[in-house]
Amino acid sequence: MTLRVPFKEAWSGQADCKTCSLRESVLFAGLKESDFEKIHQPIDQFALQPGQSLYHAGDKGDRMYTIRSGLIKLVQYLPDGSQRIVRLVKTSDVMGLESLVGNPYEHDAVVMQPSEVCSLPVATVQTLSKDNPDLHVELLKRWQRALSEADAWLTELSTGPAKERVARLLLRLVRGEQDPVCTLFGREDLGAMLGITTETASRTIAEFKRQGLLQDLGSNRYRLDTERFEDLLAD
């Protein structure tokens, strides 16, 4: 079900938006009360289930999206029909930044875990950005963050032995978390992220479990021994 929430309510923390990542991520923290007088389009908030698509590569980019919770993969399809996951989008991340310059979406955005998403009209964000320097700077920061993340995926997760690629991905999934626990996805997705076969991904995870680097918590959740993983990568 889609919930429609006025920008002002989301910004001020009224209704269901008190814990919304729109505020926590400070994307709109620099807005003033007067900025909302000219905004008539609401924010759409909706829930998505694994396997659903938010948008497809080539679609007209007329909305940006911020993730309230969950996990979404950005996918490119290769000429042979195989897929490559180029980036994961997590809570408070912004997707669809390419739409700000009039470009179509560059990837398929596919839900990996139950997710809550906010949909932002690009025209409204562009108008606010022109009149509010703080928002303009924050959007530039988000764009740079997305580029840095894409560079990291290219350099950290696409090179080196399979064991090291999996270890780097696991550490990225728990980065910034007090408790280093992550929910793993299917082995096919692991292979598509890291450029390795499904069999290699399964074998590597099984080996990490046998060695005690991964503690199985059930329901595909694992606690990492981050110190040992970092030692493995340092060798």
Rounded to the nearest 10 degrees, the angle between the axes of helix 122-131 and helix 133-156 is 120
More confident residue, 218 or 25: 218
The whole-angstrom separation of Cα 76 and Cα 148 is 18
Mean pLDDT for the chain?
81
Model confidence over 67-107: pLDDT tens digits? Answer: 888 889 999 887 887 778 888 888 878 889 898 888 999 99
With 0-12 / 13-18 / 19 or more C-beta atoms within 10 angstroms meaning exposed / middle / buried, residue 109 is buried
The CATH code for residues 2-133 is 2.60.120.10
Q: What is the per-residue pLDDT across 48-69, written as a single tens digit (0 to 9) for each? A: 999 999 999 999 999 888 888 8
> Where does the pLDDT of residue 30 fall: very low under 50, low under 70, confident under 90, or very high at 90 and above?
low
- According to the model, what pLDDT value does residue 37 have? 62
Which residue, chain included where needed, has tokens 């906010």? 118
Residues 16 and 10: their CA atoms lie apart, in Å, by 8
Instruction: Classify domain 162-234 by CATH number.
Output: 1.10.10.10
Question: Looking up tokens 């503690």, which residue turns up?
Answer: 215
The CA radius of gyration of the chain, in Å to the nearest whole number, is 19
Q: How far apart are the first and last CA of the chain?
A: 50
Instruction: Give the pLDDT of residue 15.
Output: 40
pLDDT score for 133:
76
Query: From the centroid of its chain, how far is CA 183?
Result: 14
Q: Give the pLDDT band (50/70/90) at residue 13.
A: very low
pTM of the model: 0.74
Range of lowest pLDDT (34-38, 53-57, 113-117, 228-232): 34-38
Per-residue pLDDT at 223: 95
**Of 61, 45, 172, which Cα lies nearest the Cα of 115?**
45
Kindly report, residue by residue over 147-185, the tens digit of the pLDDT: 777 777 777 888 889 999 999 999 988 887 889 998 888
Cα(151)–Cα(140) distance, rounded to whole angstroms? 17
Q: Where are the domains of the chain?
A: 2-133, 162-234
- 152 φ/ψ sector (left φ>0, alpha ψ -120 to 50, else beta): alpha
- How many angstroms separate the CA atoms of 192 and 184, rounded? 14
- Under 8 Å between Cβ of 32 and 68: no
Q: Which of 74, 14, 1 is nearest to 44 (CA)?
A: 1
* Residue located via tokens 């408790």: 179
